Amino acid sequence: MSDIIQLLPDHVANQIAAGEVVQRPASVVKELLENAIDAKATSIKLIVKEAGKTLIQVIDNGAGMSVTDARLSFERHATSKIRTADDLFQLETKGFRGEALASIAAIAHVVLKTRQDADEVGTEIKIEGSTLVSQEVCVTATGTSISVKNLFYNIPARRNFLKSNTVELRHIIDEFHRVAMVHPAIKFSMHHNDSEVFQLLDTNLRKRIVTIFGGKTNEKLVPIQEKTDVVSIEGFIGKPEFAKRTRGEQFFFVNDRFIKSPYLNHAVTAAFEGLLKDKAYPSYFIYLQVDPKSIDINIHPTKTEIKFDDEHSIYAMLRSTIKHSLGQFSVAPVLDFNKDASMDTPYDYKNKEAVPPKITVDRNFNPFADEAKQTASGSNSGMPRTSFQKEKPKQWESLYTGLSANKEETTNDFSSVIFEKTEITSSLFENETQKVFDANTTYQLRRKYIVSTIKSGMLIVHQNRAHQRIVYEELLQNITLATGISQQLLFPLQLSFSAQDVALLITVQEQLEHSGFIFDSITEEQVSISGIPTTATESEVQVLLEQVIYDLERDIPNSGFSQTDILIQSMAKSIAVKTGVILGPEEQQDMVHRLFACTEPNVTPDHKSTFVTLAIDEIDKKF
């Protein structure tokens, strides 16, 4: 038989490599920004159109390239950053594999313009699908500009696989942040569809983080610092009370490179142990410097995973450094998530000075004197017996009247909310003529399920999922009919978000208002809310909106679901009673009734079963 193995042509090899390096527009952004930094640029401009699908351009004022280098830069394995295999273990640059430009040029229309400072003219090269279209002399500023148009134009499957512009843009912004956060001394700007998204001036680390994540971030940060032979640790952790419901703000950088590390994340979480509410994620911005010889970056094409020689020591040091900082900034003792709200100082008393209790000493007091005499010595005897007796101050209760009235309105006790639809319409019970279940015999199992009897046997309802369905339908009705009822807040809530998050909230402002939100004002980073949907409680609102933002950014598929649907699903998830919550008999019954009053009681909005039934003969069979 003749030989059948052939070497792949370059353009095919490049396309295959591109599959690994370029997953989406954001991957191109990352590679181009990193190249600009490696070229020692001090000012970098990123321009994108349609979330990078039509254009990604990076302009830097770095070293630029000679004519020959400009041509060579698009060859695979062409790099100026390493020469020998040993260099792999002393990396000082972001790139080293020499395949980014070759990969990008294989799957897009690329124009490179570059000039070195000493040269009078620059070079312009056009490449489409690995084919050189033109190479010319050009007039251009010192540095390099690379524009990448029509990404994946020759791989329709990949192009179709791209998510909506909101999602792709989020990925691009994430990459932009990851690079900008390690280089505060470099100026960065970003434009999307001709409007400026970011303008980051050269500054220090803390200010860069605050500029990116919003003005309010500053007060949430606690610095961390430690230096040992193995690792030097620097950066900030977010105070526990500002922990988020989503993993949004968690960053590790090793030798100025953003990396993902579940292992180190565990170290951080361990340091926060006992300080966080369930399902809360602390923010962190942690910068580690280690000897380049002690890590291997070359284990993943996108270089976001690395291997440490001495993982265990780094884990231990990171954990203790964070614990130390949390303690030092006395973050720990002031926390008491489970405290009883009734023990809070009433508002009126907050700003008043504490008056020390007056001690009166009865100098005539004689413990050996008889009882009668003691009583006779009167009320200023100084004996603890009388002073311990609880007296109920009369004005005390009146202090609370204003507040408690409000409390009743905002309570999440859904049994107090009156619903119009109580008729049972579910098809499950269609052929049952009598009352479908015995509302008096519900039972809560493991704080998770509500068990009840139905004519055919037994009904088991998942409390969290059932409530998701209930809240979802209610919100859907409110939003589509624009009839959302609001509960007015006594004091408007002032919530802060990053500028992009606010921009995203504005896109769904109308729907939020229909669901019951009342916005007093929305500025670049501040949202003031004076009314919220009756289904939500005040304390949930921040988390609820964070969840909405998170879901909108990441979950919108290309078509199919509307933004409204995502919004309501997200709100329903946030608001629904969680597993672990004890429900009283009335609440259990109310939940079951309301579930079966829904138009689609069988499943949650994301199609998970809300209940199961067990027929009596199935039960019989088990005996």
Which of ligand ADP, Mg ion, none does 184 bind, CB closer than 5 to 8 A by kind? none
Query: Which part of the chain contacts ligand ADP (CB under 6 A), choosing from 93-101, 227-235, 499-507, 587-595?
Result: 93-101
Which of Mg ion, ligand ADP, none does 451 bind, CB closer than 5 to 8 A by kind? none
Q: Least distance from C-beta 106 to ligand ADP, angstroms? A: 11
Only one residue has tokens 């142990």, namely 273
The binding track of 237-256 with respect to Mg ion, each residue x by CB under 5 A or -, is: --------------------
Q: Least distance from C-beta 579 to ligand ADP, angstroms? A: 48
Q: Which of 52, 95, 184, 484 binds ligand ADP (CB under 6 A)?
A: 95
101 sits near ligand ADP (criterion: CB under 6 A): yes
Question: Whole-angstrom Cα distance, residue 96 to residue 80?
Answer: 8
On the 0-12 / 13-18 / 19+ scale of CB atoms within 10 A, 455 is middle
Question: Whole-angstrom Cα distance, residue 312 to residue 273?
Answer: 19
CB neighbour list of residue 417: distance below 8 Å, 6 or more residues apart: 534, 535
Query: Which part of the chain contacts Mg ion (CB under 5 A), choosing from 90-98, 103-111, 290-298, 455-463?
Result: 90-98
Q: E strands along 401-516, which residues? A: 443-445, 449-454, 457-462, 486-496
Which of Mg ion, ligand ADP, none does 588 bind, CB closer than 5 to 8 A by kind? none
Which of Mg ion, ligand ADP, none does 144 bind, CB closer than 5 to 8 A by kind? ligand ADP
- Write out the binding residues for Mg ion, residues 34-73 only, by CB under 5 A: 35
Question: Whole-angstrom Cα distance, residue 547 to residue 275?
Answer: 21
289 touches 231 (CB < 8 A):
yes
Question: Whole-angstrom Cα distance, residue 335 to residue 273?
Answer: 12
Handedness of CA 214, 218, 224, 227 (dihedral sign): positive
Name which of 140 and 496 has its Cβ closer to ligand ADP: 140
Q: Least distance from C-beta 54 to ligand ADP, angstroms? A: 21
- Write out the binding residues for Mg ion, residues 94-123 only, by CB under 5 A: 95, 100
Q: Least distance from C-beta 283 to Mg ion, angstroms? A: 29
Q: Which of 11, 49, 71, 81 binds ligand ADP (CB under 6 A)?
A: 81
Nearest Cα neighbor of 451 from 586, 578, 589 is 589
On the 0-12 / 13-18 / 19+ scale of CB atoms within 10 A, 423 is exposed
66 sits near ligand ADP (criterion: CB under 6 A): no
In this chain, which residue has its C-beta nearest to Mg ion? 95
Number of H helices, E strands in the chain: 20, 22
Q: Least distance from C-beta 131 to ligand ADP, angstroms? A: 17
By rule CB under 6 A, what count of residues binds ligand ADP? 23
Q: Least distance from C-beta 147 to ligand ADP, angstroms? A: 12
Q: Least distance from C-beta 12 to ligand ADP, angstroms? A: 18
Q: Find the angle CA(115)-CA(120)-CA(123) to the nearest 5 degrees.
A: 40
- Write out the binding residues for Mg ion, residues 183-222 only, by CB under 5 A: none
Only one residue has tokens 């680390």, namely 205
Q: Least distance from C-beta 181 to ligand ADP, angstroms? A: 20
Letter for the amino acid at 222?
V
- 14 DSSP β-pair partners: none
Name which of 46 and 424 has its Cβ closer to ligand ADP: 46
Q: Could you give the dihedral angle defined by the CA atoms of residues 444, 449, 454 and 457, in that order, rounded to the nearest 10 degrees?
A: -110
Name which of 31 and 546 has its Cβ closer to ligand ADP: 31
Using DSSP bridges, classify how beta strands 231-238 and 221-227 pair: parallel, antiparallel or unpaired.
antiparallel
Which of ligand ADP, Mg ion, none does 63 bind, CB closer than 5 to 8 A by kind? ligand ADP
533 touches 574 (CB < 8 A):
no
Name which of 105 and 502 has its Cβ closer to ligand ADP: 105
Query: Which part of the chain contacts ligand ADP (CB under 6 A), choosing from 98-106, 167-175, 222-230, 252-260?
Result: 98-106
DSSP 609: B
- Write out the binding residues for ligand ADP, residues 34-63 only, by CB under 6 A: 35-36, 39, 60, 62-63
Residue 158's CB is within 10 A of a number of other CB atoms, namely: 17
Nearest Cα neighbor of 223 from 242, 211, 205 is 205
Name which of 105 and 527 has its Cβ closer to ligand ADP: 105
Name which of 121 and 403 has its Cβ closer to ligand ADP: 121
Question: Whole-angstrom Cα distance, residue 487 to residue 615?
Answer: 42
Q: Find the angle CA(95)-CA(97)-CA(98) to the nearest 5 degrees.
A: 90
- Write out the binding residues for ligand ADP, residues 522-541 only, by CB under 6 A: none
Edge to edge, the sheet with strand 457-462 lists 443-445, 449-454, 457-462, 611-615
How far CA 434 is from CA of 424, 427, 437, 588, 601, in Å, comes to: 11, 14, 9, 20, 19
21 sits near Mg ion (criterion: CB under 5 A): no
Question: Whole-angstrom Cα distance, residue 368 to residue 406?
Answer: 54
The binding track of 142-171 with respect to ligand ADP, each residue x by CB under 6 A or -, is: --x---------------------------
- Hey, what are 562's tokens? 């509307």
Query: Which part of the chain contacts ligand ADP (CB under 6 A), choosing from 31-39, 131-139, 175-183, 527-535?
Result: 31-39
Q: Least distance from C-beta 93 to ligand ADP, angstroms? A: 7
Q: Which of 25, 96, 169, 321 binds ligand ADP (CB under 6 A)?
A: 96
Name which of 35 and 116 has its Cβ closer to Mg ion: 35
Which of ligand ADP, Mg ion, none does 566 bind, CB closer than 5 to 8 A by kind? none
In this chain, which residue has its C-beta nearest to ligand ADP? 95
Q: Least distance from C-beta 125 to ligand ADP, angstroms? A: 12
Name which of 117 and 344 has its Cβ closer to ligand ADP: 117
Nearest Cα neighbor of 309 from 294, 319, 287 is 294
Name which of 259 and 466 has its Cβ closer to Mg ion: 259
Query: Which part of the chain contacts ligand ADP (CB under 6 A), choosing from 28-36, 134-142, 305-313, 479-487?
Result: 28-36
Name which of 64 and 184 has its Cβ closer to ligand ADP: 64
Q: Which of 15, 27, 57, 73 binds ligand ADP (CB under 6 A)?
A: 73
97 sits near ligand ADP (criterion: CB under 6 A): yes
Tally of CA atoms within 13 A in the half-sphere of 519 that contains its CB: 18
460 touches 611 (CB < 8 A):
yes
Q: Can you give the binding site for ligand ADP, defined by CB under 6 A?
A: 31, 35-36, 39, 60, 62-65, 73, 78-81, 95-102, 144
Binding site for Mg ion (CB under 5 A): 35, 95, 100
